[in-house]
Structure formats: structure tokens, C-alpha cells
Amino acid sequence: MELDPVTTNPTHYAVVFENDRVRVLEYRDHPGDRTTPHAHPDSVMHTLSSFRRRLVGPDGRTRDVELAAGTTGWLPAQQHAGHNIGETDTHVLFVELKDARPGGDGTAAAVGPVIRP
């Protein structure tokens, strides 16, 4: 199954930069929009708008996420589908790392970003 978000959800994800070390994706959606299942490698996420989303992992586990514009955080490798459950558009940049984590298998138990002050 193809899980690259640019392929599975091309109306929401676009590649804005890529080289041999990183790929930068821009994500946009509107209230009520949903994405189909897709995967992200280890990434850094930067929010350009405030938003609320519901993320659903491959095991059906859900997590609601609310982030303010200007938030930057670590996104561990994961698979999920998303749903804009808020009243604002979502606008985010993802900097995907191309080098796999040493000893990692590209999957993680977490669904959603890990934001620390």
C-alpha cells in the first residue's frame, strides 16, 4: 500500500523542497477535510496556522491535537489519517528526515506531534 502523503493526499500535501537529506512538505486543508491513511518519517513540524485535528492511527486509536500558529515540534515516524475538526484552515510545514534513525524501523507508538516547551 502506498503511504507517501504526496501520493495519497495530493490536494493537501505538496513538496516545496527536496535534496538527498530532507524533504519539505507543505500541508493545507479546510474545516471538515479528511486525509486518507499515510505515513511520515521522523520529521520536524512547524505550524503556520492554529488548528484542531483528529488523528487516527492504523490500530484505530485516536488523538485530538490543537496547536497554535508558530509551534515547532518533533513528529516521530508514524502512520495516521487526519480530520480537521476545527473552525480554521490548517497550514503546516514538515521537514522530513531521509536518514533512518539508527536501530529504528520507521514506526513509532505515538500518533501526532511531540511538542515540548
Question: pLDDT digit string (tens) for 13-62?
Answer: 999 999 999 999 999 999 999 999 999 999 999 999 999 999 999 999 99
- State the pairing for strand pair 90-97/22-29: antiparallel
Q: Quickly list H helices, 1-117.
A: 5-8
CA distance 5 to 29: 13
Residue 2 pLDDT level (bands cut at 50, 70, 90):
confident
- What is the set of domains in the chain, with CATH numbers? 5-97 (2.60.120.10)
Write down the pLDDT at residue 100.
63
Q: What are phi and psi of 47, to 5 degrees?
A: -85, 130
End-to-end CA distance of the chain: 36
Write down the pLDDT at residue 37.
96
